């Protein structure tokens, strides 16, 4: 029980600060970019009225079918996926009052693999899918993988927001109009308006550019730091159990009245993030060739910082080219780290979020399949960010350090 007590102690220690910030933020007025004309919904009413698709899908399932869900599989690496899990947790536990330990929760990653059964699903198939009532959220997989889930599960429902999942089955709902968590909320609570915190996650995930809520970026940073990518919650696997401390913390802070102080706290967290990504980019990056591509590379593994650091590296190197009068451009960024004990390197590929020239997933897959160090099936990701593993010997200097006596 020590791991539970450790996480509870962390959660309870935040209450005092949360209360102080809440009082201090009462008069704060946030910032909305009113010059941005890309808003998908002009006002909150138009937003709340835009869920006809999921409401039609929801009618296919009885309340009993929803309550019988006993395996909850979600994207465990971003705000949308974790929010899906929390909304499901609220429904299945009746706001945390009824925690049936037979209900399983597991956060995994999506996979852009075009054919064959995803490794992400293979590794959880027997425990989390076989003969269970499965709900899968914010995860996109190919038809082979979906067929495998359907074949093994007692029942299967999926709610997503990726194009690859559209029209792949009658028990699957996917839309490009909203983040998965907004659809999940309507699925479980069809008559209740989408709460403000879910609107924030939806706005941040889908780039809706909503003008009726301020400081979405700051809310996103706060949620990443305090919840989704929190070291303490991750350390104790706080989202992978119905009794997970992650859900307790979400239940404690995700309310309409808390949004103001969350965005204020996010402003300071964002300042720290911006500072560190600049420092790391300036001191760690080097420009090199990588399987024929012109890349910027750094030895770094730091959850929550990698994407922003990688993109800052691209910006910094392209600015350097510009100052030199060169027309060169960086293709993408590469971050790598050595996993001692597994004798393998984790390699992450990241494109500029505005670039569509190169598909990171396809490049990662090809390296994994063609490199003599590649591990088939050990690559995955999305078009703008992907990763792979390379099986390599222990670096020579580590071997030396293990063999020599004190110098």
Q: Provide DSSP, 314-369.
A: HHHHHHHHHHTT------EEEEEEEETTTTEEEEEEE--TT--SS-HHHHHHHHHH
Average pLDDT over residues 370-378: 80
CA 22 to chain centre: 27
Q: What is the pLDDT of residue 244?
A: 86
Helix (H, G, I), strand (E, B) or coil at 74: strand
pLDDT top residue among 19 and 127? 127
DSSP state, residue 195: P
Of all helices (H) and strands (E), which one includes residue 218? helix 216-223
Q: Which of 325, 316, 339, 333 is nearest to 384 (CA)?
A: 333
Task: Decide: 88 and 139 in contact? Cβ < 8 Å.
Answer: no
- Pick the most confident of 31-40, 71-80, 264-273, 338-347: 71-80
Q: Is the pLDDT of residue 385 over 70?
A: yes
- Residues 147 and 151: their CA atoms lie apart, in Å, by 6
CA 386 to chain centre: 13
Q: What is the pLDDT of residue 283?
A: 82
Q: Which of 335, 248, 234, 214 is nearest to 285 (CA)?
A: 335
Task: Decide: 186 and 58 in contact? Cβ < 8 Å.
Answer: yes
Q: What is the pLDDT of residue 240?
A: 95
Q: Which of 18, 82, 77 is nearest to 245 (CA)?
A: 82
Confidence at 5, pLDDT banded by 50, 70, 90: low
- Residues 350 and 353: their CA atoms lie apart, in Å, by 8
Q: Is the pLDDT of residue 2 over 60?
A: no
Domains belonging to the chain, first-starting first, are: 2-269 (3.90.1640), 285-399 (3.10.310)
Q: What is the pLDDT of residue 10?
A: 65
Structure token pair of residue 393: 């010997």
Relative to beta strand 293-299, strand 286-290 is antiparallel
pLDDT tens column, 185-233: 999 999 999 999 999 999 999 999 999 999 999 999 999 999 998 888 8
pLDDT tens column, 311-344: 999 999 999 999 999 999 999 999 999 988 788 8
Q: What is the pLDDT of residue 230?
A: 87
- Residues 4 and 335: their CA atoms lie apart, in Å, by 33
Average pLDDT over residues 20-43: 72
Long-range contacts of residues 54-61, Cβ cutoff 8 Å, at least 24 apart: 54/159, 54/173, 54/175, 54/178, 54/183, 54/186, 54/187, 55/186, 55/190, 57/173, 57/187, 58/186, 58/187, 58/190, 60/170, 60/171, 61/157
Q: What is the pLDDT of residue 313?
A: 93
DSSP state, residue 107: E
- Residues 258 and 24: their CA atoms lie apart, in Å, by 11
Q: What is the pLDDT of residue 1?
A: 46
Structure token pair of residue 20: 């102080």
DSSP letters for 242-255:
TT-HHHHHHHHH-S
pTM comes to 0.83
Specify the residue for token string 């393998």: 344
Structure token pair of residue 401: 């350090």
Q: Is the pLDDT of residue 77 over 90?
A: no
Task: Decide: 108 and 86 in contact? Cβ < 8 Å.
Answer: no
């Amino acid at each position: 029980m020590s791991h539970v007590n450790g996480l509870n102690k962390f959660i309870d220690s935040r209450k005092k600060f949360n209360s102080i910030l809440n009082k201090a933020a009462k008069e704060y007025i946030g910032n909305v970019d009113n010059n941005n004309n890309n808003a998908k919904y002009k006002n909150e009413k138009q937003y709340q009225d835009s869920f006809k698709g999921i409401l039609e899908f929801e009618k296919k399932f009885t309340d009993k079918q929803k309550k019988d869900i006993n395996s909850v599989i979600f994207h465990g690496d971003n705000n949308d996926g974790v929010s899906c899990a929390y909304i499901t947790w609220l429904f299945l536990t009746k706001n945390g009052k009824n925690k049936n330990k037979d209900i399983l929760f597991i956060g995994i990653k999506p996979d852009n693999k075009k054919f064959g059964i995803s490794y992400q699903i293979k590794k959880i198939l027997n425990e989390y899918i076989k003969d269970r009532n499965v709900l899968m959220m914010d995860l996109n997989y190919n038809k082979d993988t979906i067929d495998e889930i359907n074949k093994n599960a007692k029942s299967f429902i999926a709610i997503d927001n990726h194009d690859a999942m559209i029209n792949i089955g009658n028990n699957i709902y996917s839309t490009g109009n909203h983040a998965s968590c907004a659809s999940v909320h309507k699925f479980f609570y069809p008559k209740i308006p989408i709460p403000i915190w879910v609107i924030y996650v939806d706005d941040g995930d889908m780039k809706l550019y909503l003008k009726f809520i301020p400081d979405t970026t700051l809310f996103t940073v706060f949620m990443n730091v305090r919840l989704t990518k929190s070291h303490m919650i991750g350390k104790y696997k706080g989202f992978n159990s119905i009794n997970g401390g992650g859900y307790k913390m979400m239940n404690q802070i995700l309310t309409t009245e808390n949004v103001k102080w969350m965005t204020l706290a996010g402003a300071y967290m964002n300042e720290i993030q911006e500072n560190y990504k600049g420092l790391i980019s300036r001191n760690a990056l080097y420009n090199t060739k990588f399987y024929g591509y012109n890349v910027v590379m750094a030895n770094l593994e730091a959850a929550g910082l990698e994407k922003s650091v990688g993109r800052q590296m691209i910006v910094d190197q392209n600015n350097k080219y510009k100052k030199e009068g060169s027309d060169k451009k960086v293709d993408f960024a590469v971050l790598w780290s050595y996993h001692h004990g597994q004798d393998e390197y984790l390699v992450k590929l990241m494109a500029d979020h505005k670039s569509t020239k190169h598909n990171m997933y396809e490049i990662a897959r090809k390296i994994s399949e063609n490199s003599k160090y590649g591990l088939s099936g050990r690559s995955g990701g999305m078009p703008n960010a992907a990763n792979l593993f390379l099986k390599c010997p222990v670096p020579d200097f580590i071997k030396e350090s293990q063999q020599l006596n004190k110098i």
